[in-house]
Amino acid sequence: MDLHTLTIKEAKSKLKNKEISSLELTQAYLERIEKIDPKLNSFVTVTKDKALQMAKDADEALSAGEDKPLLGLPFSIKDNFCTKDIRTTASSKVLDDFIPPYSATVVSRLMDAGIVHLGKTNMDAWAHGSSTATSDYGPTRNPWDVERYPGGSSGGAAASVASDEALAAIGSETAGSVRGPASWCGLVGLKPTYGRVSRYGVIAMASSTDSPGPLTKTVEDAATILEVLAGKDPHDATSSSLPVEKYSETMKAGKKMTIGIADDYFDGVDSEVVAKVQEALKLLESKGHTVKKIELFDPKYAIDVYTILMRSEVSSNLARFDGIRYGNDRSYFAEEAKRRMMLGTYALSSGYYDAYYKKAQKVRTLIVEDFAKAFAEVDVIIGPTLPTPAIKIGQADDPMFGEKADILTEPSAIAGLCAINMPVGFSSLGLPIGMQIMGRQFGESTILDLAYQYEKETEFWKQKPNL
């Protein structure tokens, strides 16, 4: 068996039983990266020497009987997470040579749990996009079709897992940047509730919606990682103090649920995507779940709200990158970042704040209330994750492409909900199609439960791209 095809559960078992070593596992992934990454561009930085040393240390810990949840498992990390003494660029030339003096809380918790760090993955610069087209280091290519995008902004993270260059990856989502790449790359992509996972040390895009989350091969892998990442962080005042559940156990409850579906989430969506999601709903119905029609705001309204709020927060967050304390000067900002900063500054300016930013916040509250009303009737809400399968390289040039691509994921992100992408089949061209399961705030156990039930009945996650 090729070691790089293992799941977290399988790899942990083999490591525990001394069937393989962490060093052997890590070498398999590093060889895989060396072989195929030149045609994918998943990584901005590969930390080969550090990874090999971490693997050796993990083997010593395993031999000594240490029991850490992710000990010896090779991960990739999106390049907007600060990693101490390891180059962190956010895929922007502004930070081309930035070496952080500290690590993000997510990174620290992963390290404490025993991971082997393979490297930092490519992304849309500053997370500004839904394709990786805006990366200053060139786009990542989709392992299922290298002439297409993998989604974004966590496109490199998703491609690294889909191509078996990493056992699992950590991404971040502002309005679809975990679920979207997971959909286009055929992965499980978990977006936790806002505040469930700390944002400390993440290079901020929109601070009121940023949510770190895992990209994995299976639901159980995602649950295992969430147990490590979740929890209160004294460095992040927005992180929740609610207890962290044992998600890898609660997901096995097998609860029968009422599933809400809203017609507006299917309107204008590619017919093959609609068909695959409907097939998944029928399968869930056959297993005893109830599908119920509900009313939700048309997701198109979220585009307006998200565009104003996100760009306003971008203009504030990017103001710190002035080239004085660290990084290169502002002439290194690419066009997409400049556009977003200009529009955000305009929306926050005197005379326009009430007309745009304040009004957008009011509509955001209405969206939150709309979801709360829906969740009074149903346990989860299901719909397509993205309107189409992966698009070709060069088709993401529209300045509003990201907002249009994320139309179905933006409402739940604005409302701070949890959600998960599940692979539900393939298009006629062999491209992955994803379905999102949305839950109420801090309802991770519920969406993982339904996702796990669905995964047990299908084998889409087992299929691999031909590389």
The residues carrying an active-site annotation are 78, 153, 177
How many whole angstroms separate alpha carbon 220 and alpha carbon 73? 15
In DSSP terms, 173 is beta-bridged to 211
Helices 444-456 and 219-229 pack at an angle, to 10 degrees, of 160
327: region left, alpha or beta (phi > 0 left; psi from -120 to 50 alpha): left
- The pairing of strands 290-293 and 211-216 is unpaired
Are the beta carbons of 150 and 61 closer than 8 angstroms? Answer: no
SS3 track for the chain = CCHHHCCHHHHHHHHHCCCCCHHHHHHHHHHHHHHHHHHHCCEEEECHHHHHHHHHHHHHHHHCCCCCCCCCCEEEEECCECECCECCCCCCHHHCCCCCCCCCHHHHHHHHCCCEEEEEECCCHHHCCCCCCCCCCCCCCECCECCECCCCCCHHHHHHHHCCCCCEEEEEECCCCCHHHHHHHCCEEEECCCCCECCCCECCCCCCCCEEEEEECCHHHHHHHHHHHECCECCECCCCCCCCCCHHHHCCCCCCCEEEECHHHCCCCCHHHHHHHHHHHHHHHHCCCEEEECCCCCCHHHHHHHHHHHHHHHHHHHHHCCCCCCCCCHHHCCHHHHHHHHHHHHHHCCCCHHHHHHHHHHHHHHHHHHHHHHCCCCCEEEEECCCCCCCECCCCCCCCHHHHHCCCCHHHHHCCCEEEEEEEEECCCCCEEEEEEEECCCCHHHHHHHHHHHHHCCCHHHCCCCC
- The pairing of strands 211-216 and 168-173 is antiparallel
Question: Where do we find the tokens 């009987």?
Answer: 65
Are the beta carbons of 222 and 216 closer than 8 angstroms? Answer: yes
How many whole angstroms separate alpha carbon 270 and alpha carbon 261? 17
